[in-house]
C-alpha cells in the first residue's frame, strides 16, 4: 500500500513498508562507470571480503570513452584487470550507462538498482527504484549484495495538457525544477503522473526522471502502464505492474503544459529557469546535443527534421553524441547521421561526450554553450570561465542554425 517507492520496497521485503523507515535490501543491479569504478574496487578490497555476486554487477565505460588521457587510460586499465580477474560478464562500452542499462534489460519494474552516478534516478521511468550513490556504497554492494535505504517520502507531479508545437518534455522538467528549486525535493522520491505523462513515449519519460536529482530528488518514478509494458515486451523483457495504491503524497504539484513555452536554465544553477525569449539573440560558441537526458532517438529525430538540407556556420562548434550504439545505428538507418554531417555538425561516438568536460568539445574561457545536458555548473564542460545554458533538443537545434539562442517555434 502506498506510493510507487513504497510499493517497490514493500514488494522487495514482502511486508508493508512506509516512508521514513530504514531498510536493508538486496540490490538487484549495482552499476558503475569508468569514473566511479576505480574507487569502488578500492572499497571492496579494503573490506577484505570477496565479490558477493558478479552477475548482479554491471560496469560501463562511458564518461571518457575511449580514454582521452594517460590518466584516464590508466584508471580504465585497472578496471579492466578487475573485470578479467573477477570474471564479470556485464561489461559494456556502447553508450551512456543509463541508456545501456535500459536497453539491455537490467532496468525492470520493481527492481532496486544503485549506480555510481547521480543520474541513476532515471530508471524510475520503468517503475524501478534507481538511485545514485558514491563508490564506497558500490563497494558495499560488491561485498554484501545489499545496501541500506531510508524509504523516501514522495512529491507527486500531476501533469496535464498537451505540448504546443516546439515545446517538449525537457521544457516541462526545466519548468518543474525552476519552480521546485535545486534543493526543493532533497531526499524525496519524485513521482510523475497525469494525462501528459500517460501519453508520453518511454524516451521522453526517461528525460523527466533523469532530472529528478537536479531538484535534490532521491529518484524519479513513473507508475507502469501500457507504454512500459509495450516497451519491455517489444524487447523480450518481463513486465510487472508497479502502481501506487492509496498513496499518501507529502506534496502534490500541478502543472498544465497547454501554455508551456520553451525554457532555458542559465549558468550556474539548474533552477535558473526562464522562457527562452529572455535570452533570444544571445551568441553561442558551442551547441551540444546528447547525454542521458536528451541523446535518444526521439531527440535526434527532432534535430534531424530541423537540420535537413541546412548548413551550419562552421565557426560554431555543433556536436551531436547519440546516447548509445543502438540509437546511433537507428539514426544511421533513418538517415539522420547523414543529415547531421551534411549540415556540418560533428557526430562523436556514443557516451557522455563533453558533459564531463574532459573530451569531445570542452569549453575555452569565454565560450558559451547551449546544450541538452542536465547540469550547467561552473567548469562542468571545461573552463570555469565558460558558460552553460540548458535547453531542449529543439531549442539547441534552432540555436545551432542561427548561431544565437533561438526560440524553436520560429524555426519549426
Q: Is the separation of the CB atoms in 2 and 250 below 8 Å?
A: no
* 292 has binding-site annotation: yes
**Closer CB to another protein, 35 or 210, in the complex:** 35
Place of cell 569508468: 34
386 binds another protein (CB under 8 A): no
CA separation, residue 239 to residues 221, 230, 231, 235 (Å)? 16, 9, 9, 11
Binding to another protein by residue 349, rule CB under 8 A? no
Q: Name which position in 54, 104, 146, 338 contacts another protein (CB under 8 A).
A: 146
- Going 15 to 19 to 24 to 30, the CA torsion angle's sign is positive
Q: Would you count residue 379 as binding another protein (CB under 8 A)?
A: yes
Binding of another protein by 36 (CB under 8 A):
yes
Residue 65 beta carbon to another protein: minimum distance, rounded to whole angstroms:
14
Residues numbered 50-89 forming contacts with another protein, rule: CB under 8 A: 69, 71-72, 75
Pick from 207, 402, 206: nearest CA to 306: 402
Using CB under 8 A, pick the residue from 54, 301, 377, 409 that binds another protein. Answer: 377
Three-class DSSP category at 258: coil
In the complex with another protein, the residue whose CB is nearer, 74 or 313, is 74
Number of residues that bind another protein (CB under 8 A): 52
Q: Does 186 bind another protein (CB under 8 A)?
A: yes
Q: What's the first-to-final CA gap in the chain, in angstroms?
A: 45
362 binds another protein (CB under 8 A): yes
Task: Give whichever of 57 and 202 is closer to another protein, judged by the CB atom.
Answer: 57
β-strand pairing of 286-289 with 317-320? parallel
Site for another protein in 276-315 (CB under 8 A): none
Q: Which DSSP state fits 217?
A: -
Segment contacting another protein by CB under 8 A, of 163-171, 189-197, 341-349, 376-384: 376-384
147: phi then psi, degrees, rounded to nearest 5: -160, 165
Q: Pick the binder of another protein from 42, 85, 235, 311 (CB under 8 A).
A: 42
From 10-18, 143-151, 153-161, 297-305, span contacting another protein (CB under 8 A): 143-151
Check residue 269 for interaction with another protein (CB under 8 A): yes
Say if residues 63 and 82 touch (Cβ distance below 8 Å): no
Q: Which stretch binds another protein (CB under 8 A): 54-62, 114-122, 161-169, 325-333?
A: 114-122
Is 97 annotated in a binding site? The answer is: no
Q: What is the CA radius of gyration of the chain?
A: 20
What is the smallest separation between the CB atom of 114 and another protein, expressed in angstroms?
A: 10
What is the rounded distance in angstroms from the CA atom of residue 59 to the CA atom of residue 75? 14
For residue 12, state whether it binds another protein (rule: CB under 8 A): no
Local structure of 225: helix, strand or coil: coil
Distance of alpha carbon 72 from alpha carbon 208, whole angstroms: 31
- Reading across the β-sheet that carries 251-256, which strands appear in turn? 219-221, 189-193, 154-160, 251-256
Instruction: Read off φ and ψ for residue 92, nearest 5 degrees.
Output: -140, 145
Query: Known binding site for [4Fe-4S] cluster: residues?
Result: 292, 352, 355
Which residues contact another protein (rule: CB under 8 A)?
Answer: 22-24, 35-36, 38-39, 42-43, 46-49, 69, 71-72, 75, 115-118, 120, 132-137, 139-140, 143-144, 146, 148, 182-183, 186-187, 216, 218, 269, 356-358, 362, 375, 377-380, 382, 384
Amino acid at each position: 500500500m502506498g506510493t510507487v517507492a513504497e510499493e517497490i520496497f514493500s514488494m522487495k521485503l514482502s511486508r508493508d513498508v512506509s516512508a521514513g523507515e530504514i531498510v536493508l535490501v538486496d540490490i538487484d543491479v549495482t552499476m558503475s562507470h569508468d569514473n566511479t569504478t576505480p574507487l569502488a574496487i578500492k572499497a571492496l578490497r579494503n573490506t577484505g571480503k570477496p565479490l558477493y555476486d558478479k552477475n548482479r554487477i554491471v560496469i560501463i565505460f562511458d564518461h571518457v570513452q575511449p580514454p582521452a588521457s594517460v590518466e584516464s587510460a590508466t584508471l580504465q586499465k585497472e578496471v579492466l584487470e578487475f573485470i578479467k580477474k573477477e570474471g564479470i560478464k556485464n561489461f559494456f562500452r556502447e553508450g551512456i550507462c543509463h541508456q545501456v542499462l535500459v536497453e539491455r534489460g537490467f532496468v525492470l519494474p520493481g527492481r532496486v538498482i544503485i549506480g555510481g552516478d547521480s543520474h541513476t534516478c532515471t530508471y524510475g521511468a520503468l517503475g524501478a527504484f534507481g538511485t545514485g550513490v558514491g563508490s564506497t556504497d558500490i563497494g558495499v554492494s560488491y561485498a554484501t549484495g545489499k545496501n541500506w535505504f531510508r524509504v523516501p517520502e514522495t512529491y507527486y507531479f500531476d501533469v496535464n495538457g498537451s505540448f504546443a508545437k516546439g515545446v517538449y518534455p525537457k521544457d516541462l522538467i526545466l519548468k518543474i525544477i525552476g519552480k521546485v528549486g535545486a534543493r526543493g525535493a532533497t531526499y524525496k522520491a519524485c513521482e510523475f503522473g497525469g494525462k501528459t505523462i500517460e501519453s508520453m513515449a518511454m524516451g521522453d519519460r526517461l528525460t523527466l526522471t533523469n532530472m529528478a536529482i537536479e531538484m535534490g530528488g532521491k529518484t524519479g518514478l513513473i507508475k507502469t502502464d501500457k507504454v512500459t509494458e509495450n516497451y519491455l515486451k517489444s524487447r523480450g523483457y518481463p513486465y510487472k505492474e508497479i502502481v501506487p495504491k492509496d498513496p499518501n503524497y507529502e506534496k502534490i504539484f500541478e502543472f498544465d503544459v497547454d501554455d508551456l513555452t520553451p525554457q532555458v536554465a542559465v549558468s550556474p544553477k539548474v533552477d535558473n529557469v526562464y522562457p527562452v525569449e529572455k535570452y533570444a539573440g544571445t551568441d553561442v560558441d558551442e551547441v551540444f546535443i546528447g547525454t542521458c537526458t536528451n541523446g535518444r532517438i526521439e531527440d535526434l529525430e527532432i534535430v534531424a527534421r530541423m537540420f535537413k538540407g541546412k548548413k551550419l556556420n562552421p565557426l560554431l562548434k555543433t556536436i551531436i553524441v547519440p546516447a548509445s550504439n543502438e540509437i546511433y545505428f537507428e539514426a544511421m538507418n533513418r538517415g539522420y547521421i547523414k543529415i547531421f554531417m551534411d549540415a556540418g555538425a560533428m557526430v562523436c561516438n556514443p557516451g557522455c561526450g563533453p558533459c564531463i568536460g574532459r573530451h569531445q568539445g570542452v569549453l575555452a574561457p569565454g565560450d558559451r554553450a547551449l546544450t541538452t545536458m542536465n547540469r550547467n555548473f561552473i567548469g562542468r564542460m571545461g573552463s570555469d570561465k565558460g558558460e552553460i545554458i540548458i535547453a531542449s533538443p529543439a531549442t539547441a537545434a534552432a540555436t545551432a542554425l542561427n548561431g544565437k539562442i533561438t526560440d524553436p517555434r520560429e524555426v519549426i
